[in-house]
Amino acid sequence: MCVLFVPTVLLLFPSSRELTMVNETQHTCSTSSSSKSDGGSSSGSESSKDSSRCSTPVLDADRHERLREKMRRRLDSGDRWFSLEFFPPRTANAAVNLISRFDRMAAGGPLFVDVTWHPAGDPASDKETSSMIIANTAVNYCGLETILHMTCCNQTKDDITANLQKAKRLGLKNIMALRGDPVGEEWEEEVDGFNYAVDLVKHIRNEFDDYFDVCVAGYPKGHPEAESYEADLRHLKEKVLAGADFIITQLFFRSETFLKFMKDCQAIGITCPIIPGIFPIQGYHSLRQLVKLSKLEVPQEIKDVIEPIKDNDAAIRNYGVELAVSMCRELLDSGMVHGLHFYTLNREVATTEVLKRLGMWNEDPRRPLPWAVSAHPKRRVEDVRPIFWASRPKSYIYRTQEWDDFPNGRWGNSSSPAFGELKDYYLFYLKSKSPREELLKMWGEELTGEESVFEVFTCYITGEPNKNGHKVTCMPWNDDPLATETNLLKEQLEKVNRRGILTINSQPNINGKPSTDPIVGWGPSGGYVFQKAYLEFFTSSEIVTALLKVLKKYELRVNYHIVNVKGQNITNAPDLQPNAVTWGIFPGREIIQPTVVDPVSFLSWKDEAFALWIEQWAKLYEEESPSRMIIQYIHDNYYLVNLVDNDFPLENCLWQVVDDTFELLNSPTQK
Amino acid sequence: MCVLFVPTVLLLFPSSRELTMVNETQHTCSTSSSSKSDGGSSSGSESSKDSSRCSTPVLDADRHERLREKMRRRLDSGDRWFSLEFFPPRTANAAVNLISRFDRMAAGGPLFVDVTWHPAGDPASDKETSSMIIANTAVNYCGLETILHMTCCNQTKDDITANLQKAKRLGLKNIMALRGDPVGEEWEEEVDGFNYAVDLVKHIRNEFDDYFDVCVAGYPKGHPEAESYEADLRHLKEKVLAGADFIITQLFFRSETFLKFMKDCQAIGITCPIIPGIFPIQGYHSLRQLVKLSKLEVPQEIKDVIEPIKDNDAAIRNYGVELAVSMCRELLDSGMVHGLHFYTLNREVATTEVLKRLGMWNEDPRRPLPWAVSAHPKRRVEDVRPIFWASRPKSYIYRTQEWDDFPNGRWGNSSSPAFGELKDYYLFYLKSKSPREELLKMWGEELTGEESVFEVFTCYITGEPNKNGHKVTCMPWNDDPLATETNLLKEQLEKVNRRGILTINSQPNINGKPSTDPIVGWGPSGGYVFQKAYLEFFTSSEIVTALLKVLKKYELRVNYHIVNVKGQNITNAPDLQPNAVTWGIFPGREIIQPTVVDPVSFLSWKDEAFALWIEQWAKLYEEESPSRMIIQYIHDNYYLVNLVDNDFPLENCLWQVVDDTFELLNSPTQK
């Protein structure tokens, strides 16, 4: 298992100190040279003998920076940014939806998201809905820089330490340190206990040194329980002096409120970033609820507008957007504000709209790599993955979460990755997003034979409704509709699926398109991206027999792996070597090869790919039902095949391979 | 190493049965499908804990096999091979010549070379001419599989062990175990001493287990000191039983002699490979000398031919070639012989001729990588190097000999390699091959100014004689004439050198040529190779000033590093990141990127590149002489510049950069 060889690294490269030094140098440089995201740094000296040569891909400076550094860099460069606050959902289904929302909102380019801490909701547990697990999902599976809220009152030191340790283990690097609401009306300070957020800040710094970036809350109108506005400012300063890195404020209704607060903070020597918390009003009830909790007063001019339209949700939301946009504009125009923090209430529309109107929604987020990157600090070097999980990146991240190091630059022959077991398969974020009824409509209430399965695959490819008029928008192996890139192959894919080549993954060959290409591009601009044509499908043993004969003709050009559920494995791949199928060449960088066809991982993927037939499809039907038996038959008898056309500069020959196969099957001698 | 991960697979994968199956299938495949040189090898077992994901490039299975495995694979496949024997030279100059000969003869594709042990010549010392150091050079610097001879009589156990340890440390993996000639006429066996080769074989196996491949000598006519032919065969069998892996025979004059010997060996149960030692007669005196030493008798029919022509060296050599060719044909035709071992007497012509006539000289050796590969076992994974040492691979190998690991796949940000000091610079194999007088003729007996230096560079590029009628066939930075690839740029290079852009390294951009391309190809067939255009040169600070202005226009396209001898360093390279400038895409493999422009190594190369001005050129002249002062001036004031055009699919823009620079220099406003 991968874990095994970390000590090797440690043994071989004891001089991690120098590595840090280089990092720091870079940091200084990039800070001072400001707006460029990869400003040059020429200094740095190291004893080289011991440094690992294989540890630093760096497609994106951001991946190596702490949150406070990212913030600082944007402050220096004047780049504007935003962040999004979510609370943990109540049900597992709501969690699935929230995660989809993370993915969609990640597209806009938030600097970070934060997840609130609900003491009543078992926040540190492993429940699907706990604060801890939602934050874990955001950072690891959605690749989002994440702040986890944490409260301290009414908790023991040991519990708090354990929670922080757990957060650290999960890859969380940022904590919002809060007091939390005392239980009961009468609250008394505990001696040596955690009575205020400042106690938690101190504890974090004492126990975890500089590991976490720590955020604290600021109250533009003063904390409702503070003796005075001034006293509250002094408490805030104490929190900063105790080690907080930046401040996020409570919501407010007028830009003057925040700007005054900011000046007052500066006046008493608070120099860290202060980020205004923006609350786009989204409805009458949510506003009332929030106001009640925060003990804030809604200005009369707002009340005047809202009261008359309180039953018209759309009207209130439109007004809320309008209000938020103009307030944000005032904040940004002041020159004192670069980042905006949004209280989303777990909703998308209003916040997205505000950001779009402000021009801060990133419409064209560049993919750093052609798959979902995890934001876990230990995965920062990761830049190669097997292509098999292209449509199931969360499953890949999940199954490799125990790895102690991640491939960087080269997958390597000896990687022999231990993938997590399928027993954990039912965790909510690996399930289909769609409910059973919807899946049945898409995949068929009743199957009549293998052909009805072919039809489901075909409908998924074409986007046409099935015979009952339902569009097939997802498959067990693809939770989303066809990728734009795959659309390039649509016509061919349709043809082969109709005939029982049940495709689950494919990519066209690409011979040096610009890295900015809207469909196949990825990575920094100025580069060129390449791909070998790839086709992965399930098919019957009859077709496999013919295919193998045909493949002899293509022996030098096409690499194949053909495996059934029992693990019978036929391949012409040299040794156990991976085949790079996606790579990019960039100015001033080493080659990046983000996806490979790795013979060893394919056998792990095989287990997952076959299991999906049963777990996601067969189990929709009654046991012993004909529909279930059809899927079971396919599961037991079909082969999973992948083909790579190595001659990427020529026309993709894989369609010809398939055509030849059918021709052979239809030839009289064959019959 | 391939062997490393077999157990990993076993440990990690419950379903390892399939994997093993894959291995075996392939192995069987490649063995039976014979002649291909990169068939798999599935045996070997090692603890996997220490295997890292970054340790297996494997461009060539040969690089990972032991000599006996290579031999066995060729035996199984029926591929013919040859090997070459050399003796250590007497003088340092002769050593330089021998190393050039290694390089030239390596082109023919010997399976190995061996270096004899001269007890009188301090063979284990660090002298330039010792057996140990010559073998070290062959394996490390010339990339040749090498057998070091070693004798044992009249030596202590401790000395022998120390010698073997030294050989191991230097990367030697094969020992030819010999008794050696006893000193003095009367020789007595020492009790518990090393009296026979078999004692040495046993000692190697006792002390070094299976680390070395061990070869022993066979005597087709019986050892001259043996009691009888039969007794000698029994001694040979003892040596094999003691652990010898194969046998090389003493020379002989008739194929029957060897074939009978081989059958006799087999008859008494010797089953290891037996390789005939071939001695092409090259001259009357060398024949007499050898015959005297080996106590062999030259057959009358050969004497009859040679005696009459004994003063005509060419005639004797022609006859020797003829004789050797026909004897080798008989051996090969017998079906019992697949490999031929040549006693070269450190000469090239006769052996090369015999091999060419036999069709065994490999006229088209494929480069596994576009630079000289070392055969040291610990460098097996190496597949990336900075481009700077492209023309000085031995210097690179020398300066990195202390490295504990070598870059594989990715050079990495943190590599910061510690290159060996220049103090060791004067080792013979880093010196120019040409004597001082010749260098003066090429580079000028007397320099009159910087322009006369420009002319030397220009003549080297054009291949035209200089004004004194001498061709410039080498430069301090290039020991050989212009590479074929560089020839593609000849016209442009000539133009810029005339004007003071003194080029020392360059490559054209290549956008996907077949890996079999005779000029720019490398690696396995069926692949595509790529390059970014590269230009490296010395030039004056005046030109650098203009160049820097011009480079602003090319900021996004061209990466540059500009440094002077004091280390002033100007670059636009992002962070400390290396830029891949040569890479290849191959069927069923990961991307290989053999050369990079690495900002950190460039500063080590800078020291070497500037030092060469002084050490190789300035020092040809008297101190204080004008010629020396001109070179010293250039050394002190010029800059070393490298430029990479990142847009490899477009026309190389570096010439335009240089043109623009001169245009700027000549523009009236500039003046």
The pLDDT of residue B214 is above 90: yes
Predicted local confidence at residue B663, as pLDDT: 96
Judged by CB atoms closer than 8 Å, whether chains meet at B412 and A52 is answered as: yes
Distance CA A57, CA A60 (A): 9
Contact present, B597 and B559 (Cβ < 8 Å): yes
Q: Select the residue of B22, B574, B579 nearest A569 (Cβ to Cβ).
A: B22
* Interface contact A195, partner B, CB < 8 A: no
Instruction: Give which of A51, A414, A581 to mutate to test B binding, by max B Cβ within 10 Å.
Output: A414
| Catalytic choice (A24, A69, A85, A190) | A85
Predicted local confidence at residue A574, as pLDDT: 79
Judged by CB atoms closer than 8 Å, whether chains meet at A587 and B649 is answered as: no
Contact present, A460 and A482 (Cβ < 8 Å): yes
Tokens 């830049």 locate to: A383
Express each pLDDT in B220-274 by its tens digit: 999 888 889 999 999 999 999 999 999 999 999 999 999 999 999 999 999 999 9
Predicted local confidence at residue B188, as pLDDT: 62
Predicted local confidence at residue A291, as pLDDT: 83
Mean pLDDT of all residues belonging to chain A: 85
Tokens 């407010």 locate to: A252
Query: Across residues A232-249, what is the average pLDDT?
Result: 96
Judged by CB atoms closer than 8 Å, whether chains meet at B414 and A567 is answered as: no
- Band of pLDDT at residue B176, cut at 50, 70 and 90: very high
* Interface contact B256, partner A, CB < 8 A: no
**What angle separates helix A450-462 from helix A490-498, to the nearest 10 degrees?**
170
Helices (H), B506-540: none
Judged by CB atoms closer than 8 Å, whether chains meet at B576 and A12 is answered as: no
Predicted local confidence at residue B541, as pLDDT: 96
Percent pLDDT > 70 in chain B is 86
Instruction: Give which of B30, B576, B603 to mutate to test A binding, by max A Cβ within 10 Å.
Output: B576
Q: Is the pTM of this model over 0.90?
A: no
Mean pLDDT of all residues belonging to chain B: 85
- Band of pLDDT at residue A413, cut at 50, 70 and 90: low
- Band of pLDDT at residue B445, cut at 50, 70 and 90: very high
Give residues 482 to 541 of B whose Cβ lies within 8 Å of A: 511-512, 526, 528, 530
* 3-state SS, residue B593: strand
Q: Predicted ipTM?
A: 0.81
HSE at residue B592, side-chain half, CA atoms within 13 A, is 30
The pLDDT of residue B413 is above 70: no
- State whether CATH 3.20.20.220 applies to domain B64-183+191-281+336-358: yes
The pLDDT of residue B145 is above 90: yes
More confident residue, B63 or B198: B198
Question: Tokens for A584?
Answer: 């990019």
The pLDDT of residue A94 is above 70: yes
Which residues of B are known to be catalytic? 85
Predicted local confidence at residue A430, as pLDDT: 60
Judged by CB atoms closer than 8 Å, whether chains meet at A414 and B600 is answered as: no
Express each pLDDT in A578-595 by its tens digit: 999 999 999 999 999 999
* Interface contact A48, partner B, CB < 8 A: yes
The pLDDT of residue A498 is above 50: yes
- Band of pLDDT at residue A226, cut at 50, 70 and 90: confident
Distance CA A488, CA B469 (A): 63
Express each pLDDT in B359-387 by its tens digit: 999 876 667 888 888 888 888 889 999 99
The pLDDT of residue B415 is above 70: no
* Interface contact B402, partner A, CB < 8 A: yes
Helices (H), A613-653: 626-637
Express each pLDDT in A591-648 by its tens digit: 999 999 999 899 989 999 999 999 899 999 999 999 999 999 999 999 999 999 999 9
Pairing of strands A174-178, A146-151: parallel
Q: What are the domain boundaries of chain B?
A: 64-183+191-281+336-358, 385-666
Report CA dihedral (B34, B38, B43, B47) to the nearest 10 degrees: 180
Predicted local confidence at residue B290, as pLDDT: 83
Query: Across residues B315-323, what is the average pLDDT?
Result: 94
How buried is B604 (Cβ within 10 angstroms: 0-12 exposed, 13-18 middle, 19+ buried)?
A: buried
Predicted local confidence at residue B40, as pLDDT: 33
Q: What chain A residue is nearest to B581 in terms of C-alpha separation?
A: A590
Distances from the Cα of B411 to the Cα of A451, A589, B174, B595, B597, angstroms:
51, 10, 31, 9, 10
What is the 3 state secondary structure string of A80-115? CEEEEEECCCCCHHHHHHHHHHHHHHHCCCCCEEEE
Judged by CB atoms closer than 8 Å, whether chains meet at A587 and B579 is answered as: yes
Distance CA A529, CA A520 (A): 8
The pLDDT of residue B414 is above 60: no
- Band of pLDDT at residue B538, cut at 50, 70 and 90: very high
- Band of pLDDT at residue A4, cut at 50, 70 and 90: very low
Residues in B touching A6 (Cβ below 8 Å): none
Residue A85 known to be catalytic: yes
Q: Identify which of A279, A291, A297, A298 has the alpha carbon closest to the alpha carbon of residue A340.
A: A279
Distance CA B503, CA B488 (A): 14
* Interface contact A596, partner B, CB < 8 A: yes
How close, in Å, is residue A338 to chain B by CA atoms? 26
Q: Given 3-state DSSP classes, what are the helix, strand and coil percentages for chain A, each rounded to the nearest 5?
A: 45, 15, 40
**CA of residue A650 relative to chain centroid, distance:** 35
Query: Across residues A72-93, what is the average pLDDT?
Result: 92
Express each pLDDT in B544-585 by its tens digit: 999 999 999 999 899 999 999 998 999 998 777 899 999 999
Instruction: Give which of A53, A534, A562, A604 to mutate to test B binding, by max B Cβ within 10 Å.
Output: A53
Pairing of strands A246-251, A213-218: parallel
The pLDDT of residue A60 is above 60: no
Distance CA B253, CA A666 (A): 65
Predicted local confidence at residue B19, as pLDDT: 29
Distance CA A192, CA A208 (A): 19
**CA of residue B490 relative to chain centroid, distance:** 27
Give residues 58 to 77 of A whose Cβ lies within 8 Å of B: 58, 61
Q: Exposure string (b/e) for B272-289, b if CB count within 10 Å is 16 or more?
A: bbbbbbbbbbbbbebbee
Sheet holding B558-564, edge to edge: B502-507, B533-539, B639-645, B558-564, B569-571
Predicted local confidence at residue B135, as pLDDT: 95
Contact present, A153 and A179 (Cβ < 8 Å): yes
